[in-house]
Amino acid sequence: MIRVAKLLDLPKIIDKRGSLSFFESDNQIPFKIKRTYWIYDVPGGEVRGGHAYRESVEFIVALSGSFDVITDDGSEELSYHLNRSYYGVFVPNLLWRKMENFSTNSLALVVSSTDFNNGDYIREYSEYLQLVKGKEDGGKRL
């Protein structure tokens, strides 16, 4: 099973009045948007989103400022630096992720494939490891 995030470029329409970018469900991003939320006013040094989702997939854009999205599939950590609003990172389900290194006044836009459901969160890293390692072993430990 491939569990890796992907940077996705968005259209950028530039004219003398400024620039415009957009994304649509099942078009620039590979899922239907069910929910939108955003993260802002993050104090320096704070870390958000240390968890994985069982089902939800997400697309994250830095609408303003910059931050890093760090993913961890249980074996390898990868870092995606977001600092422009014309690209974002697609995060599949069952991939541990956190967001850190927020700049002053940064604004993280997140669209999700599901309604909010606390039961969809995997908040314990040990549980995440058991889930993904178990699956890689053919599901024996699930």
Q: Which residues are catalytic?
A: 51
Determine, following the binding rule CB under 6 A, whether residue 92 of this chain makes contact with ligand TYD.
no
Q: How far is it, in rounded angstroms, from Cα 115 to Cα 63?
A: 22
| Interacting residues with ligand TYD between 62 and 81 (CB under 6 A) | none
SS3 state of residue 120: helix
User: Which of 30, 48, 78, 120 contacts ligand TYD by CB under 6 A?
Assistant: 48
User: Which of 3, 5, 21, 49 contacts ligand TYD by CB under 6 A?
Assistant: 49
CB 57 to ligand TYD: min, Å = 14
Beta strands in the chain (DSSP E): 6-9, 13-15, 18-20, 35-39, 48-53, 58-64, 67-72, 77-82, 87-91, 96-100, 107-112, 121-122
| Interacting residues with ligand TYD between 11 and 40 (CB under 6 A) | 35, 37
Q: How far is it, in rounded angstroms, from Cα 142 to Cα 70?
A: 26
Binding segment for ligand TYD (CB under 6 A), chosen from 22-30, 44-52, 73-81, 125-133, is 44-52
CB 62 to ligand TYD: min, Å = 15
Query: Sign of the CA dihedral 71, 116, 56, 94?
Result: positive
CB 134 to ligand TYD: min, Å = 24
Binding site for ligand TYD (CB under 6 A): 35, 37, 48-49, 51, 116
